[in-house]
Amino acid sequence: MKIKNVLSLFLVAALLGLLSILLYQTNNPSDPVVSENQQLIDIITQQESDIEEREQNIEGLRNAIDAELDQQTQGLSVITSLRNSLQSARYFSGLNERTGSGIVLTLSDNVQGAELAKTENPDQYRPENYIIHDKNLLYIVNDVKAANPDGIAINNQRIVSNTNIRCVGTVILVNDRRLAPPYQITILGNTDEITQAVFDSGEVEYLVTSGFAITYESKDELTLPAYKGSPNPQYATIYVEPPAEPEEPEEEPVVEPEAPVEQPSSPDETEQTPEEDVAPETDPDASEGDTGTDTDEVTDPEAEEPEAPPVDPQDAPPEEPATEDPAQIPDDQTEGTPDPDTVVVPLDEEVTTDE
């Protein structure tokens, strides 16, 4: 009896020891592959702390600029109104903190499901089925936007117009910042509408039925952090309407009748020579020859249609009704039919993904 007791105790202790070792190894991996990557990990960790420091510096500078502006613009009504426009623009684009009521939705990995699957069906166990993915966050964020919220953040990363949500390995990045579970989605706005949007969300429903732990909490006062990245675009600029074309001094062609005999030589030459030069040589295979001439040929005949291509016709009145009609997108944006607004890079750069 005694021996039996000792044996059982020994087994239990052995199991305990094994689990402790496993736990220790998980927290302190000394695997050779991990050590090989250690240098890279150190660099990334350093980068992350640099990013954080830079973000704080930027925030500090923005505050300093604001304070300076405040001081400078006291009593100057014109500047004050400009300043208000700037503040309002910042506020609505997520560059300032925002406070209000809303809900916090918390998503956690399905740890219990994973444990169960591991013990019951280890062969078919796939860990990726039990963790929250970038797509889950992306779709939930989109679903709650149905409630027209005032602002959204995931684990303190503000969702702005160009926020990206993606994963690298098992890590989720939002605004290029690494997040760790649990994922807290903070949504500001009308609590009832947001709650309804959460309940209506197909993605939330999918996660709940798949056994993920999702909780939500409604709060009267929540604060969304400001977006820490740069709002300054490098490629996009404000569109400036081209100067209105001079009315109709184009009537110069009226000069044509003046010299009917010369007509073939001067005016036509400019338009027709390229065609004539190319046509006899390339006409037989006129399909998709070399890019340069091809694009030229394509544009010529079409140039007759949009002869006066007003870049964006009557956009001058700023308060046009919302362009709700998708039909306004020209059909001719596929390959080979360059529209007058946009220069299509030669055909070899035009890619259709089909085989």
Partner 1 sequence: MNKNYSWILMLTVTLMFIGIIISSQSNSVEEYMATLEAQDEPDLLVLWRSNDERLSSLQGEYYLLQNEYDDMLSQTSQGKISIDTFLEEIDSIHVFNGDAKTTGPGVEVVFTGEIPLVATELLDIINELNNSGAEAIAVNGKRLTSRTHINQVPTDYGYNLMVDRMLITYPLSIQAIGDYHGLYTGLTIIGGIMDKLNSYSIFPTISRREDIIIDASPDKDDYQAYKQPTE
Scan residues 146-205 and list those touching partner 1 (CB under 8 A). Answer: 146, 148-149, 152, 159-166, 168-173, 176-181
> Should residue 73 be labelled a site residue for partner 1 when binding is judged by CB under 8 A?
yes
Q: Which stretch binds partner 1 (CB under 8 A): 42-50, 254-262, 285-293, 300-308?
A: 42-50
Q: Which of the residues 333 through 352 are near partner 1 (CB under 8 A)? A: 333-335, 341-345, 349-352
What 8-state DSSP symbol labels residue 211?
Answer: T
Q: Closest by alpha carbon to 58, among 233, 225, 232, 229?
A: 229
On the 0-12 / 13-18 / 19+ scale of CB atoms within 10 A, 339 is: middle
Q: Interface with partner 1 by CB under 8 A: which range of 232-240, 261-269, 270-278, 297-305?
A: 232-240
How far out from the chain centre does Cα 257 lie?
Answer: 58
Compute how many residues bind partner 1; rule: CB under 8 A.
134
168-188 burial code (b ≥16 CB/10 A, e <16): eeeebebbebebeeebbbbbb
Read off the tokens for 275: 């065609």
Site for partner 1 in 3-32 (CB under 8 A): 5, 8-9, 12-13, 15-16, 19-20, 22-23, 26-27, 29
CB of residue 265 to partner 1, shortest distance in Å: 34
From 88-96, 253-261, 284-292, 302-310, span contacting partner 1 (CB under 8 A) = 88-96
CA–CA gap between residue 191 and residue 100 (Å, rounded): 10
Looking at the Cβ atoms of 155 and 278, the one nearer to partner 1 is 155
Side chain identity at 45, as an amino acid letter? T
> According to CB under 8 A, which one of 3, 40, 261, 308 is a site residue for partner 1?
40
Dihedral over Cα of 199, 201, 205, 208: its sign: negative
Nearest approach, Cβ of 210 to partner 1 (angstroms)?
Answer: 16
> Contact, 213 vs 108, CB < 8 A?
yes
Q: Which is nearer to partner 1, 106 or 263 (CB)?
A: 106
To the nearest whole angstrom, how small is the minimum distance from the Cβ of residue 156 to partner 1?
15
